[in-house]
């Protein structure tokens, strides 16, 4: 769709990858060097003055990016903060909103939860003295009805529900709206990991009344390795006073008065601790400026089309089992090879120039990204896989 605006990773000086790993690290927008160079020049010429100069104004750079990111989340700009990393933001929000009692302390989450999310949930459960707090859904790929029934089963024993908008392993997209509603009906909060969802599926966090969410920016947002993350807090929760406060969470108007009292920003920025690096923000802005050119409904329709193109090719192969649900997904197609040496096929695909990834014990993930991948790349990948599948079966 916008391939000419991206640097496609290369196997060698002459040869590009067929790069289907945007679910792990998005391709670099070609404009990133110029955006970052502006920050480096400001640092060189203005030093600390770049925080407040009319030309650079680093002090509210993250705030000025919020209107560019908000449409991808379905929120007002004020409801999000661009800062830290996903795990740090998750800890900050759990510190505020996980308030267990002896009657209501369980957290419902998914099977094969991404490890960092599990570590965070278990950390806060242990901090409060509830070693058995974390409860998993029984299925790796649960239906929405199963999730809702499980929420109803736990009922008033449930403090919260923590799920991924798109599961990192299976590629399943969850029904965020209905699951959030179900959590609220039993008096629990609904928090979401959107690492694999933002920029991949349509989101409407405020309309869905999601309580809080976190994400990283280096997958479908293409902001680079270790890029600055973000968080969302529903507007009626901004006045939460149980918060791990940090200097950058002060109101901008009082932040540099250096008062001993914390003066929280009036919105989600109150959960910020440290000033985001302008270098990282610049890389994110380069990508967001591409998304600003995109008609989002058309883009998300293209995501679905690319997924189906790959999916249909894989489902026609006798030894391939696609595990991503057919009606609940973004770009990613996760599949198993029912052959004697599936890892060997994966490694052969890499050797032949197809960049996909392997997740233990036996899942291959591939994500043709509508911004920069091509239909003919899907055809070439499918043709190669069919050849190697036959050779190893």
In a domain, 283, yes or no: yes
What are the pLDDT digits (tens) for 307-320? 999 999 999 999 99
Q: Give the tens place of pLDDT for each residue, 252-275.
A: 999 999 999 999 999 999 999 999
Tell whether 254 and 185 lie within a shared domain. Answer: yes
Distance CA 185, CA 183 (A): 5
Q: Are residues 213 and 337 in the same domain?
A: no
pLDDT number for residue 393: 58
The reply to whether 317 falls in a domain is yes
Q: For residue 32, give Cα distances in angstroms to 62, 100, 192, 224.
A: 16, 44, 29, 9
Please report, for residues 18, 47, 163, 222, the alpha-carbon distance to residue 378 in angstroms, rounded to integers and kept in the order given: 9, 47, 30, 20
* CATH code of the domain covering residue 347: 3.90.1150.10
Query: By residue range, what is the domain housing residue 325?
Result: 3-29+295-392
CATH of the domain at 212: 3.40.640.10
pLDDT at 387: 84
pLDDT reported for residue 388 = 74
Give the residue from 261, 291, 321 where a domain finishes.
Answer: 291
Helix residue spans in the chain (DSSP H): 32-46, 61-73, 86-97, 115-127, 144-154, 176-185, 252-255, 278-291, 296-315, 342-351, 375-392
Q: Tell whether 341 and 224 lie within a shared domain.
A: no
Residues 81 and 192 placed together within one structural domain of the fold: yes
From 271, 291, 311, give the residue that closes a domain: 291
Q: Please provide residue 267's backbone torsions phi and psi, each rounded to the nearest 5 degrees.
A: -145, -155
Same domain for 386 and 257: no
Q: Total structural domains in the chain?
A: 2
Last residue of a domain, one of 256, 291, 326: 291
- Which regions of the chain are under pLDDT 50? none
Residues 187 and 94 placed together within one structural domain of the fold? yes
Same domain, 145 and 18: no
pLDDT 10s digits, 224-255: 999 999 999 999 999 999 999 999 999 999 99
């Amino acid at each position: 769709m916008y391939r000419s605006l991206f640097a496609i990773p290369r196997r060698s000086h002459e040869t590009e990858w067929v790069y289907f790993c945007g679910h792990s690290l998005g391709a670099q927008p070609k404009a990133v060097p110029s955006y970052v160079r502006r920050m480096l020049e400001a640092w060189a010429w203005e030093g600390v003055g770049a925080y407040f100069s009319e030309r650079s104004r680093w002090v509210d750079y993250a705030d000025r990016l919020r209107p560019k990111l908000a449409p991808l989340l379905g929120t007002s700009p004020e409801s999000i903060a661009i800062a830290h990393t996903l795990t740090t933001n998750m800890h900050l929000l759990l510190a505020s909103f996980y308030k267990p009692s002896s009657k209501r302390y369980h957290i419902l989450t998914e099977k094969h939860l991404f490890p960092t999310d599990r570590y965070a949930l278990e950390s806060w459960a242990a901090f409060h003295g509830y070693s058995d707090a974390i409860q998993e859904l029984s299925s790796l790929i649960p239906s929405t009805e199963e999730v809702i029934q499980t929420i109803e089963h736990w009922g008033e024993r449930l403090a919260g529900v923590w799920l991924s908008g798109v599961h990192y392993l299976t590629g399943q997209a969850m029904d965020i709206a209905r699951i959030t509603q179900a959590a609220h009906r039993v008096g629990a909060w609904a928090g979401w990991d959107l690492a694999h969802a933002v920029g991949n599926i349509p989101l409407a966090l405020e309309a869905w009344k999601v309580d809080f969410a976190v994400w990283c920016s280096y997958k479908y947002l293409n902001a680079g390795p270790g890029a600055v993350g973000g968080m969302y807090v529903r507007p009626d929760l901004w006045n939460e006073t149980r918060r791990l406060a940090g200097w950058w969470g002060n109101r901008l108007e009082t932040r540099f008065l250096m008062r001993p009292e914390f003066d929280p920003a009036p919105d989600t920025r109150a959960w910020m601790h440290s000033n985001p690096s302008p270098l990282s923000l610049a890389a994110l802005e380069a990508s967001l400026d591409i998304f600003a050119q995109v008609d989002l409904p058309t883009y998300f329709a293209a995501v679905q089309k690319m997924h189906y193109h790959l999916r249909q090719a894989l489902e026609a192969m006798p030894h391939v089992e696609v595990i991503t649900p057919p009606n609940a997904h973004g770009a990613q197609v996760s599949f198993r090879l029912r052959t004697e040496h599936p890892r060997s096929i994966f490694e052969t695909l890499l050797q032949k120039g197809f960049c996909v990834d392997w997740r233990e014990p036996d899942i291959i993930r591939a994500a043709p990204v509508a911004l920069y991948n091509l239909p003919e790349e899907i055809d070439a990948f499918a043709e190669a896989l069919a050849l190697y599948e036959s050779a190893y079966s």
